[in-house]
Amino acid sequence: MSIKFAILGILSWKASTGYELKKIFEESSFLYWSGNNNQIYKALIQMQDEELVTSEVIHQDSSPSKKIYSITEEGLKELKEWVVSSPEAPEIKKTFLVQLAWSDMLNDQELNELLSKYENALKIQLVIQQEKNRRALHSPNRSTRESFIWERISENIISTYNNELNWVYETRQKLFENQGIEEKSKMNYQIREIENKKYIELISTTDPLSTENDALDLVALCAEHETILLMIHYAALSQDFFKLKTRVAGNMLQKFINYGIKTSAVIPQEVMEKGRFREMALETNKGNHFRMYENKEEAEKWLLK
């Protein structure tokens, strides 16, 4: 299948510019092309030559002119012919399976770590897909049936990641059931649910949070419990978090933002008012992604708002 049919499908829904097509590709869970400008515009030019699409230049007073593409009757005909054609069998290409195939050269600890890394990667992707499904930014919704179909597509993708996670759990269990390898939880946390909203409250950790990987572990934990809301207590954070020159805070917060995790932190007032960290606290508390409060009640109120 080529990108042509994906573009025709979008244009059958609404006329779009090349840039708008690119954004839809980037934010879609199943339109999996890279959506780079060269690929899109090359396909559009070819389809225009084949009279599958037309274009119109719209002049704007306050911004550059834009070219809007629309599907033609011939384009609709070709799209329908492709939709009713025999579906292709899904391709299963997973680099991890090739790694796992030769993993017998690893010791038990190394193999367990390999499985854990893959598991965390899956959990992070699950968070991304769940957030895309929640936002549903680019969904036609022209009929009840169409809305149902797109919802089922999202569920298919999410279930794929869930099934892969279950497979990893089972693989680890069968590999190490008689070898005494256990994953010791490094995080002391509680799942809180208030008025149908769920968040994770991280109370403390064996090793204080200090790296981007620690932030990714929390993203994975959120995915596991199907929430994008997180509260972190002061005891779970390393002292480097409060020293801006280490960039620990900035790097961790960026990971939470990248993966759509809304996070509040419960920090003593005397800590928040120290030196340059006070400036950071004031700045972050203006945003909607990460905020710091001196008590749990305020942190929770903002988190659930």
User: Domain extents for the chain?
Assistant: 3-83, 95-176, 187-304
Give the distance, in angstroms, between the CA of residue 228 and the centroid of all CA atoms in the same chain. 10
- C-alpha span between 301 and 130 (Å, rounded): 23
pLDDT tops 60 at residue 184: no
CATH number attached to the domain at 187-304: 3.30.750
* Neighbouring C-alpha atoms within 13 Å toward the C-beta of 46: 12
Is residue 264 within 8 Å of residue 231, measured between CB atoms? yes
| Whether this model's pTM surpasses 0.75 | no
Mean pLDDT of 240-269: 92
Summarised one tens digit per residue, pLDDT across range 86-136 is: 998 888 888 999 999 999 999 988 998 899 889 888 888 887 787 777 776
Q: What is the rounded distance in angstroms from the CA atom of residue 108 to the CA atom of residue 120?
A: 18
Which CATH number is 3-83 given? 1.10.10.10
Structural tokens at position 31: 């339109």
Looking at every residue in the chain, the average pLDDT score rounds to: 88
**Bridging pattern class, strands 66-71 and 187-194:** unpaired
Round to whole Å and give the CA distance between 247 and 159: 36
Identify the band that residue 183 occupies on the pLDDT scale cut at 50, 70 and 90. very low
